[in-house]
Structures are given as C-alpha cells and as structure tokens.
Amino acid sequence: MRCPKCGSRSTGRIGQDQFYCWDCNVEFHVQGSFVRIYSIDPEGAAILESVKSPNETELSSIRDNAVHGLQKGTNS
C-alpha cells in the first residue's frame, strides 16, 4: 500500500488498520472511510496531523493490501 501523505510505498503494517510510513515518519490509521495521519514526536508520541477521506477505490486498495500483505499495486 502507499502512504496517504507522501505516496511512498515504504510503509509497514503496525496493527489492525494501522500503518507506518518510513519516508515521512507518520503513522496512519484507517477508520471507516477516513484515514487519520499522525506525526510521531521525538518521544514517540503520536500527534494527530490530519484526517483524510480517500475515495472508495483508494480505501479498498489500502484494505486489500492490508489483508493480503505486500502485494504490488495494479496502478501506479
């Protein structure tokens, strides 16, 4: 899956519907039809940075990849 903030594929799953981007060092949590983006402060605390509402296609792609692991996306 790709980071909803920077578009990087350097992301890892850290929990159910929770992901981390190694490029911009944010956590993002998928909740319903929203993605909450948290920046991580030097002490490791997650600070809510923004909330995005991706379209259904993006959302299902995030979910599919979460379920099936690191699959390559079909579109760039």
- Which lies closer to Zn ion via its Cβ, residue 3 or residue 30? 3
Give the DSSP letter of residue 56.
Answer: H
Interaction between residue 46 and Zn ion (CB under 5 A)? no
Angle at 57 between CA 47 and CA 27, to 5 degrees: 15
In contact, 17 and 29? CB cutoff 8 Å: yes
Site string for Zn ion, 13-42 (x = CB under 5 A): --------x-xx------------------
Binding footprint of Zn ion on the chain (CB under 5 A): 3, 5-6, 8, 21, 23-24
